[in-house]
Amino acid sequence: RNFPQPTTVLNFDHSTATTLAAHSSVYNNTPWGGFAKFANLEKGSHFTGICDLKTYFHHFGYLPPPPGNFSDDFDSDLESAIFNYQRNLGLPVTGKLDTDTVDLIMAPRCGMGDDHTRAAVNTTTRHLHTTRH
Amino acid sequence: YSFFNGQPRWMRSSPMTLTYAFSPDGMIDYLPQEEIRAVFSRAFGRWSEVIPVNFTEVEDYRTAEIHIGFHNGDHGDGEPFDGVLGVLAHAFSPENGRLHLDAAETWAVDFQTEGSRVAVDLESVATHEIGHVLGLAHSSVSDAIMYPSLRPRSRRVDLRIDDVEGVQALYGSNPNFNYGSLLESDQETFNG
């Protein structure tokens, strides 16, 4: 049985990266499978297609709708969305697209948003708020 | 645990019985109907064990309070499904009663007979969505039923303390519920 070897090179966690790679292959051709390429991007970067990640965060209640289209910039709004996502889902709160975060983003999930402001009560969107304990 | 705004819940006289039915036009054909019904019966039963609410399957889809169906893509509720994986299912807060599963998934009741790498455990998702039907929103506790994410070929069907406390805050406790046994099971899982 092979165990991942610890490494200190650039703080790179091989075990997590292996998990991401393994899941990425399962998630090929799934709606969010392409998000693997966003792993380890940082605030300030520009990456084609990251607007799709913003759409994801918007869909699940982490980003407000943009005035136009989402840009491909890793901006403060995206960082804030990542902070909230990590906090909500029990991940280490880094505000970065670390491999654990990207891995969970790609995973299948319930269609209900996590802030429940889009909880579908009728066929029209209804704004709700949650009480968290 | 968390609730929807206003903590909506089913308001019925006690003891409460809610009826559920399967959509005659929204079923999958590669799993035996009896197995699907048995899965949902167990999923409803888990919630019944902890709150004073019973669930009964009825044949008449129109008059049932909870409507269950497998649907593809845009199915008319403003929340279209997206194909394999991605969004698996969604449900509506009380007292709407709609519980929809993405028909494009490879739904499994037994991973030993369903070998697909993208197979999704039907019972896990059913139990989660029933939590929404009852009024629970998502939890940040990763092993709770109400955690929003579920990986393919994984199974999460047992209510955890977080789920129990949340749903009991809405409906009260089933007088026959043994809280100690749940704590014990949580402890066993933790140790195991």
Q: What is the pLDDT of residues B4-42, one digit of tens each?
A: 999 999 999 878 999 999 999 999 999 999 999 999 999
Residue A119: predicted pLDDT:
40
What tokens appear for B101 in the block? 């599963």
Residue A117: predicted pLDDT:
43
The band of B187, judged by pLDDT with boundaries at 50, 70 and 90, is low
Residue B156: predicted pLDDT:
97
Contact of A122 with A39, CB cutoff 8 Å: no
Question: Does the annotation count B123 as an active-site position?
Answer: no
Contact of B111 with B25, CB cutoff 8 Å: no
Chain A residues lying within 8 Å of B85, measured CB to CB? 27, 30-33, 108
The band of B53, judged by pLDDT with boundaries at 50, 70 and 90, is very high
| Mean pLDDT calculated for residue range B74-97 | 97
Alpha helices, DSSP H, located in A27-75: 50-59
| Better-scored residue on pLDDT, B150 or A127 | B150
Alpha helices, DSSP H, located in A5-117: 14-26, 50-59, 76-88, 99-106
| Mean pLDDT calculated for residue range B171-186 | 80
Which position has the token pair 């909230």? A84
Q: Out of A26, A88, A123, whose CB is closest to B118?
A: A26
- Residue B117's closest CA among A20, A24, A56? A24
The band of A118, judged by pLDDT with boundaries at 50, 70 and 90, is very low
Contact of B8 with B45, CB cutoff 8 Å: no
Is residue B44 predicted with pLDDT exceeding 50?
Answer: yes
Distance between first and last Cα of chain A: 42
CB contact under 8 A, B4 and A108: no
Residue B188: predicted pLDDT:
57
Which position has the token pair 């709770």? B144
| Mean pLDDT calculated for residue range A63-74 | 95
Q: What's the CA angle centered on A50, arms B105 and A59, to 5 degrees? A: 50
CB contact under 8 A, A122 and B120: no
Interface test with A, best of B72, B106, B118, B151 (most A CBs within 10 A): B151
| Mean pLDDT calculated for residue range B43-67 | 97
- Residue A75's closest CA among A98, A50, A94, A58? A50
Considering chain A, what is the average pLDDT of its residues?
80
Residue A1: predicted pLDDT:
40
Chain B residues lying within 8 Å of A125, measured CB to CB? 78
Q: Which of B65, B105, B123, B129 is catalytic?
A: B129
Nearest-neighbour CA in chain A from B120: distance (Å)? 9
Is residue A19 predicted with pLDDT exceeding 70?
Answer: no
Q: What is the spatial distance between Cα A45 and Cα B74, in angstroms, rounded to a whole number?
A: 35
The 3-state DSSP class for residue B15 equals coil
Nearest-neighbour CA in chain B from A42: distance (Å)? 24
What tokens appear for B186 in the block? 């949580």
Residue % of chain B over a pLDDT of 70: 94
Q: What is the DSSP letter of A34?
A: G
DSSP β-ladder status, A131-132 and B2-3? antiparallel
Residue B183: predicted pLDDT:
59
Contact of A30 with B118, CB cutoff 8 Å: yes
Is residue B109 predicted with pLDDT exceeding 50?
Answer: yes
Backbone angles phi, psi at B20, to 5 degrees: -135, 155
Residue B178: predicted pLDDT:
85
Residue % of chain A over a pLDDT of 90: 63
| Mean pLDDT calculated for residue range A15-41 | 82
Cα dist from A111 to A45, A56, A115, whole Å = 29, 11, 12
Chain B residues lying within 8 Å of A131, measured CB to CB? 2-3, 5, 7
